[in-house]
Structure 1
């Protein structure tokens, strides 16, 4: 399910995939950039907090100002926030976040001022867990800072406590600094920067990709057209970058060579057909002078087998380059005609009722393909049931029999020329192994396919073969 959902989202064209890949790479780069900027801002904020705490602690630690009495109220200093408090001990709470990097930095600040600290502890604590910080926050909110009243800044949730015990002193000096909330919004910044950069780049990239992909799209359409029609007319002019131009030139040359080979093949097949059928016709006349009726019939049957095989070979060679155009055809009526032909010969062939389906096709060729399938079903399966129906993947012409089927391992190779299946499908039963190959070639000529599958009964045994020609939807 997830793979199918991804395939729907992922563009199919080369230009779309390249643009999406660039967008994803840009998004990733912007995400990394946003993460680095956020980390740098956090580091700057922490440095500022440590610097503020150091500025408050240094005068007291150097004894430039009186040391507050241990366990007494904090000593307040104008312009210094919550000031410094002297405590007999300092306890780290379970929910406190210890900042070892901040402790090292604070020690460095104090040492630069000649202050030797025996112990330093720096933690971040929730405001609600520190009564002094909670009171200070309430006082500040009552003072009505403009930004907070307007809702531009959310009140701090944490407070940083920097606790220092100077060398040779029993009390701890504790400074509190409220930790402001981060004002950086990486998500919004990332999206806005990505959109801006993508808007600037997509125009230039789209022009470059268009110059590359337009000739490839034209070449693809040309290849598809040539594969359907084998028509050498309408070759595209070389365009685009040099590599694409060389590709188009090479393809045009290949088309010309293929067309020449096909023309030579048609001439050769015409000559073969004429040169072989003429002596065969003469043999038909000569065998009439044979007195033995049984021998004359065997000779006539042999000649007919040779003629049928020759017709199949020539048809298989010509099917890839038909000369007759497609025309709207009532497919149901065409199949009914084939079924009537076999019923007139007394063969057990039945046609299921179905809706009227009109599709553009080559009636002569498709009639021959269906005849081959029905003939095989009658010969090897003793009966044939034909049905025509619409399916999600196209229009299906199904021929079922009640024969022994085909070994599963041989189904794929049975559609190749001159291939027979089990020993029951030998020359004595008729055919040269071209019926399925010709039916498959005709189906592919119409843009469809030939499917072979064994039909099984309730016990799992093979109950017959199902041959299906699937044509594209009308």
Structure 2
């Protein structure tokens, strides 16, 4: 789906639009979130009222047995704002070290409040525990915020201002003190903390979800733009791969960015020029090879009347070699093998047949592999390619071994011989058309210089791979051909 005017924007403005849109979307969600999840309450306690409430709670706890303390504390007027819980052991509040971790004057203010509580209750400082923390952002606090103000009347200040570090502000305030007076034994305690509004879990989820939502929104927009840039590049890569394998045009479509549209037009024009260049030269080669058939036919007729049998045999041999070269050249230039439709074959049976044919011609050829191996391919093209490899091995060596390995998703054919081989530096040159390497090809062995070239073109047209190396067992050349199976083709027949 194309957005109006979007396709006219260049890549740089698109990236800027996506960044700004992502930031605006995150900001909008941030502003709308308080309408869905209400912010935490801000509870303001008068310091004197808080001290009186703590003393009242301790006095009521001392006046009744331990079993009746929950009921006695239930009637406290402060229960509307505070949870007052009697305990039979000292609570684990990470003790007063929590207030030591606060910064600057705020830590001193809470430490002073702890001493005031101990003095009001007549307890030793170690019998009073105070836990408080410093909220990073009060709007995103999960628990209600507590502010303890000095005795009223006072001038109201912005207690949420970060510059007012001496304010008694905390989002997790807890006070615990021992019930028993000094000199008496007992481990009963009272824990006092602001009453929960029941929204802590929801706010915690919100605090985790907001950053994740921002990442998802910005990431989604970025992926959308990136895909719009990468998809045309993938199309270009696929078209270039097809042009290199099949020598056929693969014109790319109209892209949605001005820069990419210019690249697509230039790429299509380049394909047309390359195709025309290659077709013209292949047509010229094919025409020359075809036109040579008539004079070669006349030469064959004249050779039949030569009185000398040795001369006649030599001339006819030269004519046969020239006809073989023309046939291979026409096949290569006409690209006929790639026009063949795909069909299912038994590759193992084909290799066994090729080996038997070469053995009947007097070559020591052996086959090693399964009796059956299915492959979906162009049968004539594959047979021509593999026959070229077996024929090369027979021409340049005395012993040839053909091995087939079936890996399920691909098959690998290895043709090895005991000939002189090809040096590593000449591997690339061996695949060039009409190339004869002095170490392996000569007048006696014949050859058009197109055997490996045709084999490579056929293998690449099947999305396969062909590689040259040295045979470990025979010491000569080893050619490895890997052909992937198409989806749905049977692994074995």
| TM-score, normalized by the shorter chain, greater than 0.5 | yes
Q: Which has the higher contact order (CA 8 A, sep 6+)?
A: 2
Residue in structure 1 matched with residue 107 of structure 2 by the alignment = 49
In 1, distance between residues paired with 2:114 and 2:356?
A: 108
Instruction: Give the secondary-structure state (helix, strand or coil) at the position aligned to 1:463.
Output: coil
Instruction: Report the CA distance between 1:456 and its aligned residue.
Output: 2.7
Instruction: Return the alpha-carbon distance in structure 1 between the equivalents of residues 434 and 235 of structure 2.
Output: 39
- 2: distance between equivalents of 1:419 and 1:263? 21
Corresponding position of 2:462: 446
Query: How many aligned positions are there?
Result: 331
Question: Over residues 30-49 of structure 1, what are the superposed CA-to-partner deviations in whole Å (9 max), with x where a residue is unaligned?
Answer: xxxxxxxxxxx998534412
Residue equivalent to 1:331: 347
Aligned residue in 1 for 2:363: 347
**Counterpart-to-counterpart distance in 2, 1:417 and 1:334:** 26
Alignment partner, residue 428 of structure 1 = 444
1:254 equivalenced with 2:279 (yes/no): no
Alpha-carbon RMSD across the aligned residues, in angstroms, is: 4.2
Structure 1 residues 319 and 46, CA gap change in structure 2 (3 angstroms): farther
- Describe the SS at the equivalent of 2:469: strand
Partners of 1:56 and 1:80 within 8 A in 2: no
Q: TM-score, normalised by structure 2?
A: 0.56
Cα distance in 2, alignment partners of residues 228 and 451 from structure 1: 16
What SS is found at the alignment partner of 2:256?
coil
Mapped pair 1:197 → 2:214: yes
Residue segments in structure 2 that go unaligned for 5+ positions in a row = 1-14, 24-98, 127-175, 181-186, 487-493
**How far apart, in 2, do the equivalents of 1:468 and 1:374 lie?**
12
Residues 1:472 and 2:484 are matched in the alignment: yes
Could you say what secondary structure the match of 2:362 adopts? coil
CA contact (8 A) 1:374 1:399 kept: yes
SS in 2 for 1:429: coil
Aligned position for 1:31: none
TM alignment of 1:361-380, pairs within 5 A: 361-380=377-396
For residues 315-367 of structure 1, what are the alpha-carbon distances to aligned partners after superposition, in whole Å with 9 as ceiling and x for unaligned?
Answer: 33344983333333332232233223223323322333524233232222222
Alpha-carbon distance in structure 2 between the residues aligned to 1:470 and 1:48: 74
Aligned to 1:405: 421
Alignment CA distance shift 1:303-1:436 (3 Å)? same
Tell me the distance in 2 between the aligned counterparts of 1:315 and 1:80.
109
Equivalent in the alignment of 2:300: 284
Are the counterparts in 2 of residues 266 and 318 from structure 1 also a CA contact under 8 Å?
Answer: yes
Question: Match of 1:70?
Answer: none
Given that 2:385 and 2:458 are in contact with CA atoms closer than 8 Å, whether structure 1 keeps it comes out as yes
Within 2, Cα distance between the matches of 1:213 and 1:306? 50
Give 2:190's aligned residue.
144
Q: Shift of the alpha carbon at 1:244? A: 1.5
Q: Summarize deviations over 1:238-258 as a string: whole Å, max 9, x none.
A: 131111111222222223333
Matches of 2:325 and 2:100, distance apart in 1: 85
Distance 2:421 2:213 in 1: 65
Of 283, 289, 292, the match for 1:273:
289
CA distance in 2, matches of 1:139, 1:149: 21
Superposed displacement of residue 369, structure 1:
1.6
Check conservation: 1:320, 1:441, Cα contact below 8 A: no
| CA distance in 2: counterparts of 1:81 and 1:193, whole angstroms | 45
CA distance in 2, matches of 1:280, 1:53: 113
Instruction: Go from structure 1 to structure 2 and tell me whether the alpha carbon gap of 1:361 and 1:411 turns closer, same or farther (over 3 Å shift).
Output: same
> Structure 1, residues 1-57: CA drift from partner, whole Å, max 9, x if none?
xxxxxxxxxxxxxxxxx9xxx9xxx9xxxxxxxxxxxxxx99853441245568999
SS at structure 1 position matched to 2:103: helix
Distance 1:219 1:403 in 2: 43
